[in-house]
Structure 1
């Protein structure tokens, strides 16, 4: 039986989960919710139904797998990895690294999303993000120089969150990884994985939108 992933009609926090399921060969179906454009940004398609699904903490993305109903991106990714015995940490070292990296990547991504949802002082937020970007990326560059993947020599669930984030960064800031060859090579290796490449070349993959229509960039189905 196919699992159901519910999310907005965009990449956002749902895409890393889709990437994982594609890579693991999991039979899944998407339940998309519409997020309207300006000026109303109507999100009632989700909010009118969120309490009808029997989910303890209703939110998107959510996963329904038989009797299992989960929200929170990392919880969903860890659940899928454990159940299918793929992409899950096996050693204490891998667990420790993944626990740390979950927070680090979440915080880094949050600075990016705050920048593009800031409709009042967007240009100042964007300037600040770009000023801080080299310092943050330098940390990843030195970290990734030690191993092939984020937590070591094995591809784990955490790589799907980071790989997706880097992919979106390049759409927003083309060339932003040019001064970080190790990280750039990491992303190229990730996107060259057979099932990832196949998915991204299929009709199931949509490059845009990245964020909701509230965003100053990336909320369009196809940017100008």
Structure 2
């Protein structure tokens, strides 16, 4: 059984959770409290890797860290290469480059939103910030998506990542109506729908974040 370790929140682990659910992988989670004591003083020291970090997965004797690396490992392990932009047989495809580009763009978009929302003035200025800052990136993503169902044409990990970014934006901008069909498409993937109904809303609800941000 695969073990996914992370803080007791959504964060960088949430798209990985969606990927594991999509792959129907048998896994369990090791969730760390925000004080960090167990992670910093115990598990980080004992994790069998030269690069201990959160999130991590433990798969038997294999330890993989870093949120951008874990999905690559999982896609290759379960031979679902299209999830990382490769051809079905694992050979190179230009989508593999686009995959990495979009993943970096989405991470920057997510981090920029969360960092902005920690500033007291965000609540009053968030619409202006969206128009001047975030919307530029959304327009690029909209162009990439085009008439396709998913960002690379076929479903890939970056769709789970983008879905999570969109959920954050919905949290801070509840009146925002963008990519609604795309969100519905992800949420109606059978494995994801089951996860949302049985697990996510009981553990990783966004309302738990309210005390950390100005929204």
TM-score, normalising length: structure 1: 0.82
Match of 1:150 in 2: 151
Gaps of 5+ in 1: 36-41, 219-224
Given the superposition, is the C-alpha separation of residues 147 and 208 from structure 1 closer, same or farther in structure 2, using an over 3 Å criterion?
Answer: same
Match of 2:79 in 1: 85
CA deviations 1:43-94 (Å, max 9, x no partner) are: 3232112112223211111111111111111100110011101223215222
Q: Distance in 2 between matches of 1:33 and 1:203?
A: 18
Q: Given the alignment of the two structures, is residue 48 of structure 1 paired with residue 41 of structure 2, yes or no?
A: yes
Aligned 8 A contact 1:58 1:71 in 2: yes
- TM superposition shift of 1:168: 2.4
Match of 1:221 in 2: none
Q: Distance in 1 between matches of 2:45 and 2:208?
A: 24
- Cα root mean square deviation, aligned: 2.3
Aligned 8 A contact 1:62 1:70 in 2: yes
For this pair of structures, how many residues does the alignment match?
Answer: 205
Q: Given the alignment of the two structures, is residue 133 of structure 1 paired with residue 134 of structure 2, yes or no?
A: yes
Q: Given the alignment of the two structures, is residue 202 of structure 1 paired with residue 198 of structure 2, yes or no?
A: yes
Q: Given the alignment of the two structures, is residue 216 of structure 1 paired with residue 209 of structure 2, yes or no?
A: no
- TM superposition shift of 1:146: 4.0
- TM superposition shift of 1:121: 5.2
Gaps of 5+ in 2: none
Query: For 2:64, what is the secondary structure of its paired residue?
Result: strand
Given the superposition, is the C-alpha separation of residues 63 and 210 from structure 1 closer, same or farther in structure 2, using an over 3 Å criterion?
Answer: farther
Q: Given the alignment of the two structures, is residue 23 of structure 1 paired with residue 34 of structure 2, yes or no?
A: no
CA deviations 1:145-200 (Å, max 9, x no partner) are: 14221112x11111111111112221221132x2x3xx221111011101100110
- TM superposition shift of 1:135: 2.3
Aligned 8 A contact 1:8 1:34 in 2: yes
Given the superposition, is the C-alpha separation of residues 217 and 193 from structure 1 closer, same or farther in structure 2, using an over 3 Å criterion?
Answer: farther
Match of 2:10 in 1: 11
More helix by share: 2
Aligned 8 A contact 2:109 2:134 in 1: no
Given the superposition, is the C-alpha separation of residues 210 and 26 from structure 1 closer, same or farther in structure 2, using an over 3 Å criterion?
Answer: farther
Query: For 2:213, what is the secondary structure of its paired residue?
Result: coil
Q: Distance in 1 between matches of 2:129 and 2:38?
A: 32
- TM superposition shift of 1:203: 3.4
Given the superposition, is the C-alpha separation of residues 155 and 169 from structure 1 closer, same or farther in structure 2, using an over 3 Å criterion?
Answer: same
Structure 1: 4+ residue segments shifted above 6 A: 210-214
